[in-house]
Every structure is written in C-alpha cells, then in structure tokens.
Amino acid sequence: MPARTITHDGVTLTIGEWAKRTNQTAASLRYRLNAGWSINDALFQPPSPYRTGRPSIAGERMEQARKIQLEREFSKLLFAVDNALRTFRTKLDTLLPAGQTGGG
C-alpha cells in the first residue's frame, strides 16, 4: 500500500514527511486529517491539550447544549412564576371581595 501523500502550496509529501517538517507526529497529523481538519489547520495548528476532533464541531455542540439547557431553565422558571401568580391570585380573590382586586 503506497504512503498517503498530501499536497499543500504545491508541495507534495507523505504524511510522515509533513509530520517531520511541521514538528508533529504522523499519528497526530493523520488523526487531524481523518477528523476532517483542513490541510492547512492539520499541518500548522499548534497542538492544544483542549482541542480534539474537528475544532468547529466541538464549539457548535457546546453552544447547542448551552442553548438547550438555557431554554429548559427558562421554561422551569416561567412555570414556577406562572404557578406563583395563580396561587397569589386565588388567595387574593379569597381575601378581598369581588371588584377590589384591581382588575384582571
């Protein structure tokens, strides 16, 4: 099986040769390419202990999870406030005669 080659800026080298040239391991470079990174990012993005997989997908997933969590928390809060207002209105109606509650 022939070695996989990558062409960037008109230069074609094997993954191993690119890895040596960019001071990273061939496994790391192969992982980045298989994860969908662009050739430029795979070759020249410095290693980060916090970055794995496709950089853009991870951020999108985290943002989507935050949005879902925020929507759930807002719905819980809205439900609690609505229940509190209904309870307040019921108690107010029992304490004050009709017409003295200020509208509604």
Reported as a pLDDT band with limits 50, 70 and 90, residue 102 is low
pTM of the model: 0.46
Residue 41 exposed, middle or buried by CB count within 10 Å (0-12, 13-18, 19+): middle
Model confidence at 3: pLDDT above 70: yes
Residue 49 zone, left/alpha/beta (φ > 0; ψ -120 to 50; rest): alpha
20 has pLDDT over 90 = yes
Beta carbons of 29 and 8 less than 8 angstroms apart:
no
The tens digit of pLDDT for each residue in 43-93 reads 998 876 655 555 556 667 778 888 898 899 999 999 999 999 999 999 998
Indicate the domain borders of the chain.
5-44, 54-104
Mean pLDDT of the residues in the chain = 84
